[in-house]
Structure 1
Amino acid sequence: MIWVLHGSCRWWSKDTVAIVTGANKGIGLSMVKRFAELGVTVILTARDTKRGLKAVESLMAQGLHVHFFRLDVSDPDSVKTFVSWFRLKFGALDILVNNAAVSFNEIDENSVEHAETVIKTNFYGPKLLTEALLPLFRLSPSTSRILNITSRLGHFDKLRNPKIRSIISDEEKLSEEQIDNMVSLFLSNVKQGTWKSQGWPEIWTDYSVSKIALNAYSKLLAKQNQGCGLSVNCYCPGFTQTSMTRGRGTHTADDAAAIGALLALLPPQELPTGKFYIAHSNLSNKREALRLGLRVLKFRSFEVHLENVRLKAHQNKVIFLEDGWGFAFW
């Protein structure tokens, strides 16, 4: 599956700088590859130096040049070291893709044994890195972008506790303190062994809570930076064949990353903020998309081609491609 951005909407150049976390494999590596193919200067990060360098070598073998620096988003010292290196090496940032994440469950399991690690990596990691990099965003007329790789398991309706769901869903009153309080309450319930009866998500509970927190934080950050030249959005790549899914899924990491890169590189005039994108690889998901209240992203001067098949907007608020691929946002 090859996505081609129409030449008339190309706003970036080799001077455009992107960072992708957790990029030694899977969607992260595929995102780095796609950015490099499109001429973006991209930094591949990974917490394991050996694996990170191996990933860089694999891209170099394909004629692609990328930069590498070790980064463990769950380690404040690692984040500090990375940001210092980046400031000296590049000075300014245009695109940040927070992709690094972990889950310790098999597809059909639901243990919270590693809940603290999951929350620390999937929520507090991206939050820590984002806040450390905020002063370095270029905030150019093209608009700087943050794309947080998330999951539909992080949709707010997964919270079965109506009080918590109401607080997190209230965009007008939502605060960083409220998000932190939700996470702290969850971890407290885990320690007390009461998490099953407190209305937390029923599937991949710790992972789901981490993504709910990330999605809420993304909306808050988008609101705080409205009109400041920084766009903040979330992207769920769907059921993708990665190590996290043990190779199971409806599509490949390259497929998911192609759409992710597309969203990260939207033309300035078409770029929203505070939105949640979800990719679908089957039209049967249309009903679920509508149930979640997804809205269409209306293109004007922007064209996308998939093997010469133009992106088509259908009614009922969801964009779909002729081959069944689609995405939307709420």
Structure 2
Amino acid sequence: MGKGNKERAKERREKRRQEVSLLRTIPYSDHQRWWSSDTIAVVTGANRGIGFEIARQFSLHGLTVILTSRETKVGEEAAKVLQEGGLNVVFHQLDVVDSSSIKLFADWVKQTFGSVDILVNNAGVNFNAGSDNSVEFAEKVFDTNYYGTKNMIKALIPLMRPSASGARIVNVSSRLGRLNGRRNRIGNLSLRQQLEDDGSLSEELIDQTVATFLEQVNDGSWTSGGWPQVFTDYSLSKLAVNTYTRLMSRVLSGRPEGQKIYINCYCPGWVKTAMTGWAGHTSPEEGADTAVWLALLPEQFVSGKFFAERREINY
């Protein structure tokens, strides 16, 4: 991309950020607000960064928020900050890579609240920064970003409250996980086509793709496997999240009226958080915006889509 194109892209990005910032100042009208203080939103990995900001914005809109964190102390402190501001936030420990922790959490939610209306899968890790592309922690990346997200969805779907507005699931993802991005896509065209085709897409195919990559990481052959060459493990973990979002949208589409669950994913952009080493160009407030907007859409008929800056983008 030439300098002129880069400048134009930067200008377009800045213009869109300003547009979204303006939209965020427009309050929801009474007839748009399908939620109330009894509406329960779960946000994973919410002790800091984007997750904390999603929890804060939900609570500012009047929802009851369950803020979760792997570490109890920092999660309690994060919840306390919001509680001291008069916001309706409760904390519960949750480690999305631990199946027993997920079960304990789901059991507690059922006993305490009975049901949930919104799940935001925000918990995620990335061990690369700058031009680094180590796959040393690839298994941990997939355990958190993909399997953690998938297992949370499976655990909470039975607790999703039936309603005319439908329950909502939002998965925090990344443009790096796009199937057909100009950069960083899978080199294996046949595999890419299988993952792109809703007819052939299955949980087994996604899991096998992940397993194949991890096998190649273990034997050292991943560099010639046709995988993305930038942030490889992180990119593939988010590709798995994106494709699983599409798959679950299809699975959930058959639910009857009054029991609908809408699931989408979004890219928050390159956000100034600990994960990016504070090197991003987007604030956590901006990064959280699309997740909150998606979850609160007054007429939620969209599902299985990928968004950024309140706009649908291609997978």
What letter corresponds to residue 50 of structure 1 in structure 2?
A: K
Cα distance in 1 between the residues matched to 2:137 and 2:240: 17
Other-structure match for 1:266:
297
Return the offset for 1:259: 2.5
- 1:170 has 2:207 as partner: no
CA distance in 1, matches of 2:210, 2:91: 32
Q: How far apart in 1 are the matches of 2:289 and 2:152?
A: 24
Pair 1:119-2:146 in alignment = no
Match of 2:117 in 1: 94
Matches of 1:242 and 1:264, distance apart in 2: 22
TM-score of the superposition, structure 2-length normalised? 0.87
Q: Is the 8 A contact 2:266 2:306 kept in 1?
A: yes
Q: Which runs of 5+ in 2 are unaligned?
A: 1-20
Select which of 169, 172, 180 maps to 1:149. 172
Q: Percent identity?
A: 45
Q: Shift of the alpha carbon at 1:138?
A: 1.1
Residue by residue over 1:291-310, the C-alpha shift from the partner in whole angstroms, topping out at 9 and shown as x without a partner, is xxxxxxxxxxxxxxxxxxxx
Provide Cα deviations, 1:191-238, integer angstroms capped at 9, x if missing partner: 010111111111100001111111111100000111420101001011
Please state whether the residue corresponding to 2:276 is helix, strand or coil: coil
Amino acid at match of 1:85: W
SS in 2 for 1:277: strand
Is the helix fraction higher in 1 or 2? 2
1:72-111 to structure 2, matched below 5 A, reads 72-111=95-134
Task: Return the alpha-carbon distance in structure 1 between the equivalents of residues 115 and 224 of structure 2.
Answer: 47
Cα offsets for 1:38-63 (capped at 9, x unmatched)? 01111000000010011011112322
CA distance in 2, matches of 1:122, 1:5: 33
Residues in 2 aligned to 1:46 and 1:32: alpha-carbon distance in whole angstroms: 12
Task: Identify the residue that residue 233 of structure 2 maps to in structure 1.
Answer: 206
What residue number does 2:4 align with?
A: none
2:33 corresponds to 1:6: no
How many Å separate the matches in 2 of 1:178 and 1:77?
26
Give CA-to-partner distance per residue, 1:87-131, whole Å, 9 cap, x none: 100111110000000011112211000000000000000111110
Separation in 2, partners of 1:258, 1:163: 36
- Find the counterpart in structure 2 of residue 70 from structure 1: 93
CA–CA separation in structure 2 for the residues paired with 1:198 and 1:220: 25
State yes or no: 1:31 paired with 2:58.
Answer: no
Structure 2 counterpart of 1:315: none
Q: Partner of 1:156: helix, strand, or coil?
A: coil
Counterpart Cα distance in 2 of 1:174 and 1:3: 39
Q: Does 1:196 align with 2:226?
A: no
C-alpha displacement of 1:271: 3.2
2:268 corresponds to which of 223, 229, 237: 237
Q: 8 Å contact 2:266–2:290 — kept in the other structure?
A: no
Q: Does 1:133 align with 2:163?
A: no
Task: Please identify which structure carries the higher strand content.
Answer: 1
1:255 is matched with which residue?
Answer: 286
Question: Runs of 5+ in structure 1 lacking a partner?
Answer: 280-325
Partner amino acid for 1:327? R
- Shift in Å, 1:258: 2.2
Query: TM-score normalized by structure 1?
Result: 0.83
**Distance (Å, rounded) in 2 between the aligned partners of 1:327 and 1:250:** 19
Q: State the distance in 2 between where 1:14 and 1:62 align.
A: 16
Write the letter of the residue equivalent to 1:10: R
User: How far apart, CA to CA, are the structure 1 residues paired with 2:115 and 2:25?
Assistant: 27
- Using the TM superposition, give the Cα deviation of residue 5 of structure 1 relative to its aligned residue in structure 2, in angstroms: 3.7
CA distances 1:2-31 after superposition (whole Å, capped 9, x unpaired): 443431311111111110000000000000
Farther-moved stretch of structure 1 (138-147 vs 111-120):
138-147
Tell me, in whole angstroms, the C-alpha distance in 1 between the residues paired with 2:284 and 2:177.
20
> Which one-letter code corresponds to 2:304 in the other structure?
G
Task: Give the counterpart of 1:275 among 301, 305, 314.
Answer: 305
Conserved in 1, the CA contact under 8 Å of 2:133 and 2:231? yes
CA distance in 1, matches of 2:196, 2:124: 23
Instruction: Provide the aligned length of Structure 1 versus Structure 2.
Output: 283
